[in-house]
A and B are shown apart, each in its own frame.
Chain A
């Protein structure tokens, strides 16, 4: 935790993956615990498959909504290359929770650019801790690729300065209000993400 007691979490991915929603749920959990919070995006025309980076800062009092490069406590990458793109935002030795799924954009498909060979290795080479797992496969196994953001939230659950249950409550509250039939499957996705991150953490140590 930095000196001003503000926690900085950066959630990154591409438009349509639910990055902004996940960050908002995280913010709601922080608020439920009495924190001040600010959430901001660099999204551009994100609905069209562009880069999304969502900043969440919470603590006793938050001023600027933006996380400065080199000060993020946690980076959550919803996509491999996006995790790599933003890893410089982490404080030295900071933790990356990373979905190993690759979403290849048209500029790569038509041969203008290369997709990095091994984003995971590149991030590790910069001295960051990485817990990597395939959140997309987990979501598809549960029947819906859109569960990916709840899987990623589950993965964060044991890396926050508050109990996992607070985050789970925030997720279930949101779905309870909007899509009650989705509550159970989101609970499962949360637990599956949490377990995957735990396993990835053990692998990272081994």
Chain B
């Protein structure tokens, strides 16, 4: 996070792409910035919120954040919004009409593509939005460029009265590199001026704006042809020339220092003539673009011969280890020798935290048979993993509601006795889930909804939302009452339960009772994320070796502080062979949530004696 006091101008700072954009937004005199958290975009707004003299907000979803930014730009202020790639799917309804109205104050939309899928449900290519919405799109290749292009984007947006997309990827957003920063400039809002033909998009009004959009396309194309953001670097090895953008540019430069390169910074609309001229100077032209063959397709359509996805992958990053062998093969050169193969080591998937309130929920769900669980996006998606295996679908933000209803209405004869559950977090529910619940109630669904209210947007680092009672600055804000909210959506009062996810018998009984009732129930769990300030640690536990019978019940909780120290195969009196798992608790990590204590029949888990020195256990 950036310091509270902005670093003075001309400082050379080690900034992530996100921090660099935040700084540039602030320096550009931007007045309003809004976003919904989403990896890898989150830090842009998080850092911006620490700067003075700018309004920032966590919006309930990306569509609202874009609409807030649009309103500010209509009022003549500079505005900014940012989101991860899938966020634009939600916001695009606004975007596709915004392109007709255009803006007065500069509006920059930063979209962070998760190329390589470090933390997302898909790998879609946001460069399409520039084409789809007929708006310009810039692609920085590192932090310094992210900073500079953001500033240029504000000016460009105002000059052409068009929003500008800044397309970033994880390898820009989260890479730290040196940036030389500047001064904040003043920008006075021009004020909202009534102009219904422009701001009220009725069919008649929109019909008149569409030709203007096509006219603008021509202007933008001419701008792209002369833009200093599109540069040609002459190289002496003319066998292969590259057209590339974003992080792929850095990988191309690293891999082929002598190759001619046309770097696209202003990549939509593409500067076709500039590329056509460049193509004539090289023997073969290769388009190195992450993810889809977008520029490649446009070049081929324009009759510019090139190679692209026929030799490079359509998925993941175009890192040097991908580029080098592909180009060697193209040139008929020996394929660079692969270095040593990686050692075989167990996978280490992300886990839920020690004492996470979701552990109680998934431990319970794993005990209930004959259910289908429609899941959602957040930390609780991890419930699909071991040891719980208690989440059956994940599609998009808020989808657990509609999908649960569809699983109910579309059930096969063989599934007629199956109970349908939906699991959703507080922030995801407010983002897009509550509409789905309303639909479910209105249409007579038979679904038990678990609303896991942990008072944070957990997966992205504990940001605030309308359910946390705090705003982006940590100041008190109106707090949603989830029980009242779902009641007002039509869920019967007696079908709404607020339970403590650390009290397993009550949780189990509530879920088991509610799934038997053929209507919509909502069970709200009410304990905070262990990573936010609201969480209070308790006295930690340890295992009494002499009492542990190896039943393994505590292991089923899935808490990362519980470790198996030894396994033993025994034959039960019934003749059945079982494997015993004797355990220890990593007391230094345990926060005393009491979850593992409850299924432990021999009472082998007790509060740790902290007066004894911490014992280091070697496996």
Contacts and interface: CB of A to CB of B under 8 A. Distances in A.
Given A28-B14, A36-B178, A111 B320 contact: no
Interface in A80-105: 81-82, 84-88, 102, 104-105
Interface residues of A, number: 59
B581 A49 contact: no
A113 B539 CA distance: 31
Contacts of B564: 109-111
Interface stretch (A38-46, A150-158, A181-189, A194-202): A38-46
Interface in A29-79: 31, 36-51, 62-66, 68-71
Contact of A39 (B175, B247, B531): B175
B416 interface: no
Contacts of B382: 48
A115 B14 contact: no
A86 B345 CA distance: 10
A111 B55 CA distance: 51
Given A104-B619, A111-B567, A115-B619, A126 B175 contact: no
A69 B343 contact: no
A106 B616 contact: no
B560 interface: yes
Contact of B387 (A50, A106, A140): A106
Given A45-B350, A64-B251, A85-B342, A104 B563 contact: yes
Contacts of B562: 109
A137 interface: yes
Contacts of A206: none
A48 B353 contact: yes
Contacts of B560: 49, 105-106
A113 B12 CA distance: 46
A152 to B, nearest CB: 17
B571 interface: no
Contacts of A82: 345, 348
A50 B14 CA distance: 25
A85 B171 CA distance: 22
Contacts of A114: 346
A108 interface: yes
A107 B563 CA distance: 10
A111 B382 CA distance: 18
B581 A111 contact: yes
A15 interface: yes
Nearest to A71: B339
Given A47-B461, A104-B563, A81 B345 contact: yes
B303 interface: no
Contact of B321 (A46, A69, A145): A69
A37 B346 contact: no
Contacts of B379: 48
Contacts of B198: none
A112 interface: yes
A14 B349 CA distance: 10
A31 B14 contact: yes
B386 A84 contact: no
B142 interface: yes
B343 A88 contact: yes
A40 B564 CA distance: 34
A110 B386 contact: yes
Interface string B111-123: 0000010110000
B371 to A, nearest CB: 22
A48 B343 contact: no
A105 to B, nearest CB: 5
Interface string B560-580: 101110010000000000010
Contacts of B531: 47
Contacts of A64: 247, 250-251, 253-255, 319-320
B250 A65 contact: yes
A84 B343 contact: yes
A27 interface: yes
Contact of A31 (B142, B178, B567): B178
Contacts of A51: 348
21 contacts: A36-B178, A37-B177, A39-B175, A40-B174, A42-B116, A45-B350, A48-B350, A49-B353, A51-B348, A65-B142, A65-B171, A66-B319, A68-B339, A82-B345, A84-B345, A105-B346, A105-B351, A110-B386, A112-B386, A123-B343, A137-B616
Given A48-B351, A109-B562, A110-B555, 5 more contacts: A48-B379, A49-B351, A66-B171, A105-B351, A112-B346
Interface of B: 12, 14, 39, 116, 118-119, 142, 171, 174-178, 247, 250-251, 253-255, 319-321, 338-343, 345-353, 379, 382, 386-387, 459, 461, 531, 555, 558, 560, 562-564, 567, 579, 581, 588, 614, 616, 618-619
